[in-house]
Structure 1
Amino acid sequence: MSASVLRSPAAFKGPAELVLAAEIAHRHFLEGRTKVEIADELGLSRFRVARLLQLARQEGVVQIEIRHSGIIDLDRSIRLRERFGLEHAVVIDCPDDDPHTLRASLGAAAADLLAEVVSAGDLIGLAWARCIQSMVRQARRLPQASVVQLTGVLPPARDASGTSDDTAVDVVRDLARVTKGPAYLYFAPFLVPDASTARALRGQPEIVRAFNRASSADVAVVGIGGWAPGLSTLFQAATPAERVELARSGVCAEMAGVCLDADGTPLHTTLNDRMISVDAARLDAVAQLIAIPYGTDKCPAVLAALRSGLVTMLVTHSSLAEALLVHDQPSR
């Protein structure tokens, strides 16, 4: 409502009616009173209350603004936290038709949450996902902390604008610059051609050091992928035969290379044998795990991740949050 008006809008009889309209609007929009309650309280007819509310809207005395730039959806945040027993749930009310804008909003919220839960001297684990890349780019103030890489490097992709993604090494190094702490990273692919190559790489000192530290991470941040085209960078990197094989074995979701069935049970697959990434036991050892999923088509995968018990904090958006609340039914 306008704080000051020098002249009554022409639609009102005069300043007294303008003030009355403002009072009615205040009671209705800010105090939550019904039109019937206001009419009874002020000794007016319901018709007059309704007319003055309409005039207040038309003349700009009341201006209702709906923002879609990352406002926290408090109701769904609370319901998600309670439904899935999470430490924290942050749901952002923003449009989901533009992935770039959506990732930016989620990244900003995740950066704020990370700043809230990390303490000086902590160890932060980072997997790779575009939403995590967005989070790191927007991280500004964090306590001094160490950062460890959880997954190897996938071939860099370009978005619709032609901008190349950062790698897993880049996001770890960039966040360490913000935290002003050491970065434990390694230059190795996420997937290698065969199991023997993977075994040899896992024995490299920098990878051994990173994986050993990952188990004692205070906070880790991961994305959630669905086992379907366009829903997981790991799915895209797998061979066609592996995609079919893992789907038949019940893989529904993946987090940092950990494959899950619909009930959230971690599955060991042939893909794990040629993967350079933390395993389910190391991910389970992390004290707090923040997941940042987006896209309603990932609803089954996110439900699987939540049922796993690995995720303790969730940052997502309203449409996916609502889908999770609606479709949270035991699998059969």
Structure 2
Amino acid sequence: MTDDGPAELVLLAAVARRYYLQNQSKVEIAEELGISRFKVARLLESARERGLVRIEIVRQGALDVDASARLQERYGLRHAVVVEPADHDPGSVRHQLGRAAAELLAEVLEPGDVLGLPWSRMVHAMVGALTTLPPVEVVQLTGAIALPDFDSSAVDIVRRAARLAGGPARVFYAPFVLDSKASADALRRQPAVAEGMQAASRVTKAVVGIGRWAEGQSTIHDLLDEGERAALARAGVAGELAGVFFDASGKPLRPKVAARLVTIDADVLAGIPEVIAVASGHAKAPAVRAALGGGLVQGLVVDTGLAEALLVDEPAPRR
């Protein structure tokens, strides 16, 4: 990790919050975080030297490190980044979160990792903000969706990331959503698609978007007809992640329509050691909370509105 990256800053905030606001000892903090008490002492000293700790834990630019640390602690996440948007235009928020996700990914990705990327507006924004990556293989996780306001496909996303990483790109040409199970089955049998899907089993880190099962909150939701949307809602679908449907508890579901999607299945998703989700808006909170509860994601990059909704019932810090 770099000294000034978001993961390092959030770790400093997590240690400082436990020590200064929750009155935990250095030994207790070390045991909770799985580090030595000597490292805890060094992190506390570093937090003071950087000006991260005054009377309260303060923001570092657009990064709300206190909310990030609270979110990370509350849900047991590997990484959590909360961004205070400069404005609330959806395109601008997506751009700001994409930039924060790009910084986090460049910090936590290690040489030899295999990076998985699906089609997603948020993933598109993140890849567009990337400036560097360590040498890794990049794998396409889903087919593509053609939207009038987006001119890049899943293939474009993966190839751009692979160029920056200097590693191979595992891509295939296929739509995300097809009109029938037979069409999707035929595509999945094509060697390029089959090989691409097989490569997903090697992914060690993935970045995804999360869709809530509601109008305007999920691209897949909005692509289906009204009857299909209602049927999935009745079946208990609360959201989807890279085309993997899940209920309010985060349990993956396999509704009939899933057979029409060209994407990874729930078992492959569960086998990825670290999935980082990028999402915005308090309206997404039910789906994001469900995905967290089901262990579908281990990292988050969100705006302050969504973070506040996820922390709304958090106990007040001990004084």
- The residue number in structure 1 matching 2:85 is 94
Alignment match of 1:204 (pick from 174, 186, 190): 190
What are the ranges of 5 or more consecutive residues in structure 1 without an aligned counterpart? Answer: 1-28, 34-65, 159-163
Q: In the alignment, is residue 229 of structure 1 matched against residue 215 of structure 2?
A: yes
Contact 1:130 1:165 in 2 (8 A): no
Amino acid at match of 2:190: Q
Contact 1:229 1:236 in 2 (8 A): yes
Q: In the alignment, is residue 74 of structure 1 matched against residue 65 of structure 2?
A: yes
Amino acid at match of 2:265: D
The alpha-carbon deviation at position 166 of structure 1 amounts to 1.5
Alignment of 1:274-293 (within 5 A): 274-293=260-279
- The residue number in structure 2 matching 1:57 is none
The alpha-carbon deviation at position 217 of structure 1 amounts to 0.5
Distance 1:125 1:30, change over 3 A: closer
Q: In the alignment, is residue 267 of structure 1 matched against residue 219 of structure 2?
A: no
Alignment of 1:100-139 (within 5 A): 100-139=91-130
Alignment match of 1:148 (pick from 131, 139, 148): 139
In structure 2, what is the Cα distance between the partners aligned to 1:307 and 1:315? Answer: 16
In structure 2, what is the Cα distance between the partners aligned to 1:223 and 1:324? Answer: 16
In structure 1, what is the Cα distance between the partners aligned to 2:171 and 2:108? Answer: 22
- The residue number in structure 1 matching 2:293 is 307
The alpha-carbon deviation at position 174 of structure 1 amounts to 1.0
Q: How big is each residue's C-alpha offset from its partner over 1:24-68, in whole Å with a ceiling of 9 and x where there is no partner?
A: xxxxx99968xxxxxxxxxxxxxxxxxxxxxxxxxxxxxxxx99x
Q: How big is each residue's C-alpha offset from its partner over 1:198-222, in whole Å with a ceiling of 9 and x where there is no partner?
A: 1111111111111111122011110
In structure 1, what is the Cα distance between the partners aligned to 2:52 and 2:94? Answer: 32
Distance 1:214 1:31, change over 3 A: closer
In structure 1, what is the Cα distance between the partners aligned to 2:290 and 2:90? Answer: 22
Contact 1:70 1:105 in 2 (8 A): no
The alpha-carbon deviation at position 321 of structure 1 amounts to 0.3
Distance 1:178 1:242, change over 3 A: same
Distance 1:275 1:262, change over 3 A: same
Amino acid at match of 1:116: E
The alpha-carbon deviation at position 193 of structure 1 amounts to 1.0
Q: In the alignment, is residue 254 of structure 1 matched against residue 240 of structure 2?
A: yes
Question: C-alpha root-mean-square deviation of aligned residues, in Å?
Answer: 2.2
Secondary structure of 1:282's counterpart equals helix
Alignment match of 1:169 (pick from 126, 132, 155): 155
Contact 1:215 1:285 in 2 (8 A): yes
The alpha-carbon deviation at position 70 of structure 1 amounts to 6.0
In structure 2, what is the Cα distance between the partners aligned to 1:262 and 1:320? Answer: 17
Secondary structure of 1:147's counterpart equals strand
Secondary structure of 1:326's counterpart equals coil
What are the ranges of 5 or more consecutive residues in structure 2 without an aligned counterpart? Answer: 1-50
The alpha-carbon deviation at position 328 of structure 1 amounts to 7.5
Question: Post-superposition, which runs of at least 4 consecutive aligned residues in structure 1 deviate over 2 A?
Answer: 29-33
Alignment match of 2:165 (pick from 179, 190, 207): 179
Amino acid at match of 2:124: Q
Secondary structure of 2:311's counterpart equals helix
Alignment of 1:210-225 (within 5 A): 210-225=196-211
Distance 1:31 1:167, change over 3 A: closer
The alpha-carbon deviation at position 156 of structure 1 amounts to 2.4
The alpha-carbon deviation at position 180 of structure 1 amounts to 1.2
Secondary structure of 2:207's counterpart equals strand
The alpha-carbon deviation at position 157 of structure 1 amounts to 2.5
Contact 1:96 1:295 in 2 (8 A): no
Contact 1:176 1:182 in 2 (8 A): yes
In structure 2, what is the Cα distance between the partners aligned to 1:31 and 1:267? Answer: 44
Secondary structure of 2:103's counterpart equals helix
